[in-house]
Chains A and B, each alone.
Chain A
Amino acid sequence: MVDYVLSVIPIAFFFAIVSFGGVLLWGLYRFPAMSLGAFFGVGAYAAALLIGFGIEHIIALVLATVVAAVAGWLLGATVQGVARDAAVVCTFALQVCLGSLFLNWTAVTGGSMGIGGLSHEFLSFLPFRFEGKWVVTSVAAVVFAQATYIVLQRSRFSITVSASGESEHLSSGFGIPPRMVSGTVFAVSHGWAGFSGALFALYVGYIHPSNFGVSESIFVLAIVAAAGTRSYLYALALSILMVGLPEAVRFLDADILFIEKVRACIVGSVLLAVVWIASASSGGEDMEDSERDSA
């Protein structure tokens, strides 16, 4: 039982790292990106492939993060200057496009067979059992990621991001380069998602396209929406809760597919409920105002 709980903790922490990116994007930059699940996968596949080429685990981890961050920068720079809801649709299309590539580019990703046999020997220097090593590693990763985001949020850059998120047009008038801001925000958030994906791949030892689908992006979005868009600690707590609670259902001897689907239904309900409650508490405003805001 204890071993099982310990084995779930790293997964919750990996999702927490991804959701921090969502908090930065949605909370500060006002952009609910739908591509974080796919970039979680980009990091995982990049790490798995690099290790397959015989590259050291740590170097593979760093390179996978860099790959995800660079791809994230390109995405951010591309969707900059695009009407916001169209840009969200772009990230959604990219999520599905990458998900389809993970599934169908068999020569590289292993297709529906996935990539297995990833060893985690690079943690051999830690004097713990397998679960202990990964709990320590994931805690360290979460602390590091959270520290990065908090430093970023308290720096002058956050004001720039916030201003650009409010209105790219207006902020560019004050000399803030919107493409640089968009690219950087996407690079940071998607880079961390890639890092988290790489750690996930090394932890689980086997990756499959279903780990990085639309439902993962919706899951992250639900965590971000429920956490409130500016709180990293809430995002961490909710990741633990939302990964942990459905895992508890496993002890009911139910079918794994059933558990997964029930979890996805709960995630969808949370997403709807949280957005609804947040909208109700912020109070309705005139339709013209809301349309002006979205423009």
Chain B
Amino acid sequence: MGVLGELALVSVLKTFTLAPLVMGFVAVFWITQRFDFTFAGYFVFGAYAPLLLRSFGLSMNWFNLIIVMVLFPALVSLILEATVYWQIYRSEQGRMKFLVASIGVYAIIENTMAILFGDKSVQTFPSLSSTVISFANCSASLGLLFGAGIGVISASVFLLVLKYSSLGLTARAVVADHQLARFHGINVMRIHGLVLGTGAALASIGGFSASLDSFAIPSAGMQPLILAVVVTLATPVLKVRRAWVLTIAFMGIESVVSFWLSSRFAPAITYGVFFVVAVLVGRREMAASYRGL
């Protein structure tokens, strides 16, 4: 396998590690029409989950990890939704105000993690990220493989639940027409809360799986979140396959830029690409809304 093949493989694996965050974010937008920047905070929280366990003297096992990594963010999200977010969303210019408020919550979570664990990057599982496995002239760290596995399984389970369960059917009814869904007795507020809670848990899992390959750092949530936002903007409602392809494509762009151009400028170029895509898609969305007037 050549360089291109290795880059493609790494892009796919990185996509899988970030899949819970991206797919959760995309689905939340489809159902609630909201950009929730708190997800970047949950992502960071998930990355620090093992360290949180250690610092509180709890033993590192799957049960504790799931409570801290999955249930806690979901609970925080549900509480926020029930107390603050729903009210903000329902007000005038609600979507915009919600976005701004969620940036505030993200700042709180990010800086709380920085206060607890410092501003520098920390490796949560050094043995996983340092062990490299080679196959077919390709190499990837054990952490990346584990992270990809956890990510793709959790994202797939979420998408399957969304597609085949009765809860998913209800959520999709809200996507199709929330007014009609409300007239049919569906509690739209409850669906929004559940989806946001599930999305928060997924974002946290995404942070955990990404940290297996690299490290935990308080500012780690921003880049994956902007990726998720751009994928969301560029994906029509309920087109899951498009969301996967776009995520792989964006990760591929970053890998190619890092490899051939400059690893130093890779983040700036990637964000530049995100900016251009967001402009193009935003224009299309605006044009579509004008046509609908």
Do chains A and B stick together as partners? yes
Q: Interface of A with B (CB < 8 Å)? A: 30, 32, 34, 78-79, 81-90, 92-94, 96-98, 100-101, 104-106, 169, 214-215, 218, 221-222, 225, 257-258, 261-262, 264-265, 267-272, 275-276, 278-280, 282-291, 293-295
B96 and A270: CB pair below 8 A? no
Q: Which of A221, A261, A291 has the most CB of B within 10 A?
A: A261
Q: Which of B112, B115, B118, B230 has the most CB of A within 10 A?
A: B115
Whether B293 pairs with A82 at a CB distance below 8 angstroms is no
Q: What are the interface flags for B58-100 relative to A under an 8 Å C-beta threshold, 1 for contact and 0 otherwise?
A: 0000000000000000000000000010011111111111011
Closest residue of chain B to A273, judged by CB? B104
Distance in angstroms between the alpha carbons of A96 and B107 in the assembled complex = 15
A286 to B112, CA, bound (A): 35
A-B contact pairs, 23 of them (CB 8 A): A85-B95, A86-B233, A86-B282, A90-B282, A93-B230, A96-B267, A97-B267, A100-B267, A101-B265, A105-B265, A261-B119, A264-B111, A268-B106, A268-B107, A275-B101, A276-B84, A276-B87, A284-B87, A285-B91, A285-B92, A287-B90, A290-B90, A290-B92
| Residue B55 lies at the interface, judged by CB distance under 8 Å to chain A | no
Residue of A at shortest CB range from B118? A257
A-side contacts of B99, CB under 8 Å: 32, 85, 88
- Asked if residues A264 and B282 are in contact (CB atoms below 8 Å), the reply is no
Chain A residues within an 8 Å CB radius of B275: 90, 93-94, 97
B107, A169: Cβ atoms closer than 8 Å: no
Question: What separation, in Å, do the CA atoms of A268 and B100 have in the docked complex?
Answer: 10
B contacts, CB < 8 Å to A: 33, 35, 84, 87-97, 99-101, 103-108, 110-112, 114-115, 118-119, 178-179, 188, 219, 222-223, 226, 229-230, 233, 264-265, 267-268, 271-272, 274-275, 278-279, 281-283, 285-286, 289-290, 293
- Determine whether the beta carbon of A267 is less than 8 Å from that of B91: no
- Whether A265 and B285, one on each chain, are in contact in the complex, defined by CB atoms closer than 8 angstroms, is no
Whose C-beta in chain B lies nearest to the C-beta of A268? B107
Q: Across the interface, do A96 and B104 meet the contact criterion of CB distance under 8 Å? A: no
Q: Is the CB of B286 within 8 A of A81?
A: yes
Contact of B268 (CB < 8 Å), options: A104, A285, A286: A104
Main SS at interface, chain B: helix
* Inter-chain contact A271/B101, CB cutoff 8 Å: yes
CA distance A210 to B261 in the complex (A): 25
Contact in complex: A293, B94 (CB < 8 Å): yes
Which residue of the partner chain, among B107, B279, B286, B290, contacts A271 with CB atoms under 8 Å?
Answer: B107
Q: Chain A contacts of B272 at CB under 8 A?
A: 93, 97
A287 and B178 within 8 A (CB): yes
Q: DSSP class of A's interface residues: helix, strand, loop or mixed?
A: helix
Nearest to A34 among chain B residues (CB) is B103
CB contacts (< 8 Å) of A96 on chain B: these are 222-223, 226, 267, 271
Residues of B within 8 A of A82 (CB): 278-279, 282-283, 285-286
User: What is the CA–CA distance of A271 and B108 in the complex, to the nearest angstrom?
Assistant: 10
Q: In the complex the two chains form, is A93's CB within 8 Å of B115's CB?
A: no
Most B CB contacts (10 A, CB to CB) among A32, A89, A258, A285 go to: A89
Q: A89-B226, A90-B282, A288-B179 are in contact. Are A293 and B108 (CB under 8 A)?
A: no
Contacts A90-B282, A268-B105 given; does A214 touch B229 at CB 8 Å? no
Instruction: Point out the residues of chain A lying under 8 angstroms from B271, CB to CB.
Output: 93-94, 96-97, 100
- Please give, as numbers and ranges, the residues of chain A lying within 8 Å of B90 by CB-CB distance: 279, 284-287, 290
When the two chains form their complex, are residues A218 and B103 in contact, meaning their CB atoms are under 8 A apart?
Answer: yes
Pair A93/B274 contact, Cβ less than 8 Å: yes
A258-B115, A270-B104, A287-B90 as given contacts; A101 in contact with B278, CB under 8 Å? no
Please name all residues of chain B whose beta carbon is closer than 8 Å to the beta carbon of A262 when the two chains form the complex: 111, 115
